[in-house]
Amino acid sequence: MTSDWLVARRVAVACIVLALAYFSFKIIDVFLQVFAAMLVSLALHALAEPFARLTRFPERYAVFPVALLVFGGIGLTLHLFGSTIQVQIAELINELPAAWRAFEQRFHLEGMGDDLLRRAEAAAPSGETVISAVQGLTSNLFQVVLGSFLVVVGGIYFAASPDLYRRMFLSLWAEADRPAVALRLAAVSEDLRHFLKAQLIAMVVVGVLTFIGLTIVGVPSALALALFAGLAEFVPMIGPVVAAAPAVLIALTLGVDSGLWTLLVFVIVQQSESNVITPLLQQRMVSLPPAVTLFAVVAFGNVFGALGVVLATPLTVLAFAAFKAHGEQEAKPENGVGTTTL
């Protein structure tokens, strides 16, 4: 009887674990949005600290004027340069089909685009596909806007009361383990903060250098292409390749020489970023092996979609930082430096 009860209890526990795993997978987008909000919180908190020191403002309340300055500055920039960026993006969208046709003609690939289009139409299940695609695009756009709003607001809340959410997280652990978990959490937060600083600087530098290079070469819509290149820099290795494709394609409409010069611009910018900028910035952050970064982007993209691609690198930094902190905690007793263990 006892054996049957033990088996039944184990089966029930296994069912509960599987149910929780399935539920967690279904709401994985929520977890990713929470993580993105935490990144926003770390960025705001990093900016709020010097602001609080300069203004003698309480640090927890300094988050709100800092958030207002940051997002207000972004809004003002979009207001001042938004019309130029909008015009260039519209020109870019209009020029890409012509650039693709010129690319087909130059390399004798006529009909390749039409063939791909016919195959896509043949794979379509019915005539309602266009309507469904438009509805899906509208729904996805709404989800992106709503998700961005939730991430920003959640990040402000996290940054305003970090101790509250830290205590809530630590309450999930046994009281004896909380000091070690708190130390690891602090180390992970510090590494993520350094990652965000380095990534932001790299994105700005890549965007500026790309704009200068494309302007010198004479590629149309240089500002829009440089903005895209800077944003794509957040996704390492894959992002720069995706950002270079439309620029090279448009440059080929001006001639093969322009296409080669544009490609050279992106190669020089990426080599400068990889060999000069990133090594300087990574002196105080977790250095990820290139292969790990590449396959992390692919893996998170396959499992979690577009949001997984965007957050793949910070999630990998989180994992590396957590294991590094764990290793440091275990190494201390062996070296006689301390007695804290996890």
Percentage of residues in the chain having pLDDT higher than 70? 71
**CA pair distance 222, 97, nearest whole angstrom:** 17
pLDDT (tens digit, 9 = 90+) per residue, 58-105?
777 788 888 888 888 777 766 666 666 666 667 667 766 777 676 666
Chain CA centroid to CA 152, Å: 14
Q: Which residue has the higher pLDDT, 26 or 223?
A: 223
Residue 121 placed within a domain? no
**CA pair distance 101, 93, nearest whole angstrom:** 14
pLDDT at 152 over 60: yes
Residue 168 placed within a domain? yes
Q: Look at residue 336 in the predicted model and tell me its pLDDT.
A: 45
Q: Look at residue 305 in the predicted model and tell me its pLDDT.
A: 82
Confidence of residue 128 (pLDDT cuts 50, 70, 90): very low
What are the backbone angles phi and psi of residue 58, rounded to the nearest 5°?
Answer: -55, 135
Mean pLDDT of 275-303: 74
Residue 283 placed within a domain? yes
Query: CA-based angle 260:117:300, to the nearest 5?
Result: 70
Residue 53 burial (CB count, 10 A): 11
Q: Look at residue 284 in the predicted model and tell me its pLDDT.
A: 57
Mean pLDDT of 269-295: 73
CA-to-CA separations, 8 to 21, 66, 94, in angstroms, rounded: 20, 56, 65
CA-to-CA separations, 218 to 62, 142, 208, in angstroms, rounded: 44, 36, 15
Dihedral sign from CA coordinates of 232, 207, 34, 197: positive
Domain that holds residue 184: 28-110+143-335
**CA pair distance 324, 320, nearest whole angstrom:** 6
Query: CB of 302 within 8 A of CB of 161?
Result: no
Of 337, 271, 285, give the one whose Cα is nearest residue 313. 285
Mean pLDDT of 22-48: 83
Domain count across the chain: 1
Mean pLDDT of 261-269: 91
**CA pair distance 100, 84, nearest whole angstrom:** 24
Residue 3 placed within a domain? no
Residue 318 placed within a domain? yes
Q: Look at residue 212 in the predicted model and tell me its pLDDT.
A: 93
CA-to-CA separations, 53 to 41, 72, 155, 281, in angstroms, rounded: 18, 21, 21, 24
pLDDT at 117 over 80: no
Query: CA-based angle 69:311:236, to the nearest 5?
Result: 95
CA-to-CA separations, 21 to 24, 25, 124, in angstroms, rounded: 5, 6, 34
Mean pLDDT of 114-118: 53
pLDDT at 221 over 60: yes
Mean pLDDT of 8-36: 79
Confidence of residue 338 (pLDDT cuts 50, 70, 90): very low
**CA pair distance 65, 57, nearest whole angstrom:** 10
What's the whole-model pTM score? 0.70
pLDDT-wise least confident of 78-87, 168-177, 298-307: 78-87
**CA pair distance 5, 13, nearest whole angstrom:** 12
pLDDT (tens digit, 9 = 90+) per residue, 4-14?
677 777 777 78
Of 264, 295, 144, 285, give the one whose Cα is nearest residue 201. 285
Residue 341 placed within a domain? no
Q: Which residue has the higher pLDDT, 106 or 57?
A: 57
Mean pLDDT of 206-216: 91
Residue 230 placed within a domain? yes
What are the backbone angles phi and psi of residue 9, rounded to the nearest 5°?
Answer: -65, -40
Mean pLDDT of 223-233: 87
Residue 243 placed within a domain? yes
